[in-house]
Structure 1
Amino acid sequence: MKNMIQKELVDSFFAQFGESEITRLSIREVGKLVAQIEEKSGKEFIHMEMGVPGLPALPIALEAEKEALDLGLANSYPSIEGIPFAKNEIARFTKLFMNLDVTPLNCTPTVGAMQGSFAALLAAARTNPHKPYTLFIDPGFPVQKSQLHLMGVPFKSFDILNFRGEKLHEKLESFLSDGNICSICFSSPNNPSWICFSESELKTIGELATKYDVIVVEDLAYFGMDFRQHYGTPAVKPFQPTVAHYTDNYILLLSASKIFNYAGQRIGMMIISEKLRTRRYPNLKNYFTSDILGHFIPYGVLYATTAGTSHSAQYALAATLKAVNDSDFDFVAGLHPYGEKAKIMKILFLKYGFYIVYNDEDCELADGFYFTIAYPGMTSGELMKEFLYFGISAISLAITGSENPNGLRACVSFVRLDQMEVLENRLKEFQLSRQ
């Protein structure tokens, strides 16, 4: 059996990155490596490395942004705290889809959820000099750790794989009881594993955050995308599960990139509890003129980084939220193609000898944006590199904080339905090469 792509070609391009281990490459570096191999070989890859939208932007968002530009907003700075239209609709969305009572004062548009993450984690780290550490419940989005490295903020982490359900309480408290944790960060649905934290697990996190006075930064970038339940009808149960139902120490991060397919304009949302918004932390005075967290975040962090969020993109976000809030369309139903592709792809991987690394606690893993795979007898580095010879790309779980040495993250968004037969053929050839 000959590899579809010459081994020498793959190895020569990888060598240009100056890394000895392919698992150390960032998501964007893997994307660059694959693009180079693809161009030189002339072979189209099955792209599973990049977690970017694979659906078109919503027309309502495009029209709203065009209208905002036509009105001349491009020549004026937006408010640091966000335009009223966006803040009002974020607050409505929070109530209608999460059943949380917040006001527009608690809601801030950000330059993607990434800026929200940067601001929230930095602010939390500045609240108390005796609590310097962020705690990540891994696996997670690698760039959030990169943000902390950039800030010089230390962090701790543990892999959730063996601590689901009742085991989470003891594990989490073993970190919090040291008294040096300022924040807990996690995502649900989880990037990369696609596990979803249960209500009991969210309750555990929330109650312990309150007990130890820790801020929870909950990444809801994949809001509503656990398709085992339907979270797309406003003011109707079930509501999106969130730690905010169990603690007042929360900052929620949402993104228009995935749920509204609006990644290119970099627009997201931050929702901070009223308790945290108005709380005074004396240590903030060492970094800013105010010790009020809800003033420090917009005027101390957001102002110093981007001085606000794109004026026109805020109108796109606000118009989309208004349509969703008014029941003009079901945004969750529009995301179902991700789940349909995941279902097919998981069947194919299992058929050809792979296994799912992360399954959900008490039920079958949802079909959604990501899933995790491994092949018996192969490390993640071996599998990741071998895949390249067969025109398949994915990232290692190692950069997500996973303690499993064997797995890869597979993203479904860029894989087209007309590529499923190609994927099956390549997986079949891969399996034959291992025999």
Structure 2
Amino acid sequence: MTDTLDDLTHRLLQRARDAGADAADVLAVRGNSISIDVRNGTLEQAERSEATDIGLRVFVGQRVANVSSSDVRADSLAIMAERAVAMAREAPEDPYVGLADPDQLTENRASDWLELYDPTPEPTPAELEQDARDAESAALEVAGITQVSASSAGYGSQEIHLAASNGFSGGYQRSSRSVSCVAIAGTGTGMERDYDGDQRIFQADLRTAQDIGRTAGERTLERMNPRKPKTGAYPVLFDERISSSLIGHLLMAINGAAIARRSSWALDLLGKQVLPQGLSLTEDPHRPRVGGSRPFDAEGLATQKRDIVRDGVLTGWTLDLATARKLGLDPTGGASRGTTGGPSPSVSNVALSQGATDRAGLIADMGTGLVVTSMIGSTINPNNGDYSRGAAGFWVENGQVAYPVSGVTIAGNLIEMLKKITPANDARPWLSRVVPSLLVEGLTLAGE
């Protein structure tokens, strides 16, 4: 009989105490996944994995060490604990490490209300293969598509449990179902590609494979025969597919680890305007049926809804226990970790205020400029926010899309860019990052 993760984590905690640890916590993850790839109408690859991974963090005074393993036999757990304690004894002291105090721990450890796991039967390999075939067929039915480089379908489920010597013990399950397709048109140097995909917790929410394949094909054709725009300063509309990258740069800059190292362009922006007045950026780990939701963080603290930016003003950092202690602040319930390392600050689900205008309306308003639908490479100066990225998309003239473009570089400064964003109202509400298309005025484009 397979041990429950509750039993497994508590046995390893006891092993750590027996080995001489003053305190410890254990994260265990048991999961299975299956992925199917189809090409040219035939099965190209099928993979299935099943594993139980366990990570142990031990404290000896103010010294800490992490070890991980996928071998959960009793004798292996004992060796794992002994090695972790021996490593901790040789580690340097860190005044900020340590478990949460018992009164900091959340009592809310159930997850059913978040709907993170789909209880319907796991799809068979044949069902997933059919999804991949349907997506490929739909893409190839789009006139002008010459091949599909990848058509895939997958399913995964996980059981997660966290236990610690401070008394915390809690766990939950996750599941996901996905379909994706990459289509190609043209040949040689005139070849273009684009993609579409969807991933959901509940299989019933997943878009059809036919819709995904058809959209991948249509997007690819729109990119054919691209040009380079003239170098200059223009408005740039970041399409909803990639607009969350701009918000991602802000989230990285306010991460407590970067703030504690004093290596962030947002270091002096707390309590100051970082977005236009009227816009807010909200973290909500309690959105049902969203992949980033969670009932508690990786240190057993309560997750909570909070405004990261309120009415354009930055309200705080993202902090786990250690970075909060370094900065003399309260943690935000934002710790995440895997089995191979300790906690670090993170955010879960975030949403940016929606605008009053749709994407087409912003394109009409921008006059002449660039709509960006894909980006490559990245040069971001973490200290001052200077921004430079390669991009492709569509050139706009007189408020209408004129032709596709590629090989253009966008440059600006994130501090100024974020203050000038104008959001559309086209964000997808089921994503973990709900960010609409964003128009930014006056960016420098390097083209011809």
Q: TM (normalized to structure 1)?
A: 0.22
Q: In proportion to residue count, which structure has more helix? A: 1
Q: Which has the higher contact order (CA 8 A, sep 6+)?
A: 1
Q: TM (normalized to structure 2)?
A: 0.22
Q: In proportion to residue count, which structure has more strand? A: 2
